[in-house]
Structure formats: structure tokens, C-alpha cells
């Protein structure tokens, strides 16, 4: 995996395993490249001289205008649930991701 360090590749595999994600080598390479680009951008930002800039300065920022809160009825649950692969009793049903001896509910 050119351009991606072995340590980063192993970290991606470790996090994917914790998240129970199955990534192939192309996906790992792609994620590694994205992480490297982010780290390069952070390095560029860290080189900026910002010592005289107040990070909490809100000089030219106007507050958002207030609006009245209004209750809006929303009854499209069945439409949304119809798009789910599996639903049960008005809820999305998803595969169990936590292993162990837990009571089935």
C-alpha cells in the first residue's frame, strides 16, 4: 500500500474490527489515503502563524434570527418503514452486533 504506513493500515484494521466492519484491501487502502490527506492538511494548518488570532472572537458574526417554534404533525412512518429491509411492530429491525448471552427481546 504505497503512501500509507504499515502502522496506519494496522490501525484501520483494528478500528474496523472493533466496529465489526469487513474491509477488503482496496477499502483499507482508500481509507488510508483519506486519513493521510487529512493528516497532511492538519500539518499544513499547524504550520500557520495564528498566535495573534483570538479563536473565540466573534466580531463580525450576526446572531441567527429567532423564529417561532411550531409543532408540525409528521405521520409518514409507514412510508419510511416501507423502505427498510426488515421492520417489526413499527420499528426498524437490525442485526444483533453485540455478542454474548443476552435475553432476546
For the entire predicted model, the pTM comes to 0.48
Instruction: Residue 16: give its domain's CATH number.
Output: 1.10.20
Mean pLDDT of all residues in the chain? Answer: 87
Task: Give domain status of residue 40, yes or no.
Answer: yes
Task: Tell me the backbone φ, ψ of residue 26, rounded to 5 degrees.
Answer: -65, -40
CB within 8 Å of 23: residues ≥ 6 apart: 12, 13, 16, 31
Q: Which domain holds residue 38?
A: 6-46
Task: Give domain status of residue 77, yes or no.
Answer: no
Task: Give domain status of residue 98, yes or no.
Answer: no
For residue 40, the cross-strand partners are none
pLDDT at 48 over 70: yes
CA–CA separation, 90 and 102 (whole Å): 23
Report the pLDDT value the prediction gives residue 98, as an integer from 0 to 100: 83
The tens digit of pLDDT for each residue in 29-46 reads: 999 999 999 999 999 999
More confident residue, 62 or 91: 91
Amino acid at each position: 500500500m504505497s503512501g500509507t504506513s504499515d502502522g496506519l493500515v494496522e490501525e484501520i484494521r483494528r478500528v474496523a474490527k472493533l466496529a465489526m466492519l469487513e474491509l477488503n484491501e482496496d477499502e483499507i487502502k482508500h481509507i488510508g489515503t483519506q486519513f493521510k490527506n487529512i493528516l497532511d492538511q492538519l500539518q499544513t494548518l499547524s504550520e500557520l502563524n495564528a498566535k495573534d488570532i483570538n479563536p473565540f472572537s466573534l466580531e463580525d458574526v450576526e446572531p441567527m434570527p429567532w423564529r417561532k417554534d411550531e409543532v408540525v404533525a409528521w405521520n409518514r412512518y409507514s412510508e419510511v418503514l416501507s423502505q427498510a429491509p426488515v421492520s417489526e411492530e413499527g420499528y426498524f429491525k437490525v442485526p444483533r452486533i453485540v455478542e454474548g448471552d443476552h435475553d432476546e427481546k
